[in-house]
């Protein structure tokens, strides 16, 4: 089934519909990782201003619908960090009803192909420590810990 997974570029209208959903998920993920409501909202606004200044994705970044057998199963956003050699998975999500079927793994494999086609030598990502299924996926794909932030509530 995962051989039928494709990355379909999102149209401007699809980006506009996706943005509030993805940013709300990002804000909630930050809260789940320990940010206060205010910190999470500030991070969300900063991300939107940096990457979607006019409601459209900045040039050079790519946003896809992850499609399996013609069905929308999630999304993938990738793009360069500071130069063309270093790319980042800014966001990837498989809809809850489609998890556990290998779509995330295949989306990440396709992300590597796309990044390579655009001159990337490295692909990096961030994953919150509470997201153990994602950590297992990324480890299984060969990702290793590059940095680690730790915290302790006082």
pLDDT in tens, 43-89: 999 999 999 999 899 999 999 999 999 999 999 999 999 888 999 99
Task: In whole angstroms, give the CA distance from residue 40 to residue 32.
Answer: 9
User: According to the model, what pLDDT value does residue 64 have?
Assistant: 98
pTM value is 0.92
pLDDT band at 152 (very low <50, low <70, confident <90, very high): confident
Q: Delineate the domains of the chain, giving CATH numbers in brackets.
A: 2-140 (3.40.630.30)
User: According to the model, what pLDDT value does residue 137 have?
Assistant: 95
Residue 19 pLDDT greater than 70, yes or no: yes
- What's the whole-number average pLDDT of the chain? 94
Task: In whole angstroms, give the CA distance from residue 37 to residue 101.
Answer: 33
Rounded average pLDDT over 131-152: 91
29-51 pLDDT, tens digit per residue, is: 999 999 999 999 999 999 999 99
Residue 99 pLDDT greater than 90, yes or no: yes
Task: In whole angstroms, give the CA distance from residue 122 to residue 119.
Answer: 9
């Amino acid at each position: 089934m995962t051989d039928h997974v494709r990355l379909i570029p999102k149209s401007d209208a699809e980006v506009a519909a996706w943005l509030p959903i993805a940013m709300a998920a990002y804000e909630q993920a930050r809260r789940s990782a320990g940010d206060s409501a205010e910190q999470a909202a500030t991070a969300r606004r900063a991300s939107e201003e940096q990457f979607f200044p006019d409601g459209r994705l900045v040039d050079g970044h790519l946003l896809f619908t992850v499609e399996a057998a013609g069905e929308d199963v999630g999304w993938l956003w990738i793009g360069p960090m500071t130069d063309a050699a270093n790319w980042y998975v800014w966001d990837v999500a498989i809809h809850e009803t489609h998890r556990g079927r290998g779509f995330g793994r295949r989306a990440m494999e396709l992300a590597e192909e796309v990044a390579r086609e655009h001159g990337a030598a490295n692909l990096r990502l961030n994953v919150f420590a509470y997201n153990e299924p994602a950590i297992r996926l990324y480890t299984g794909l060969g990702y290793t810990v590059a940095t680690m932030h730790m915290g302790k509530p006082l």
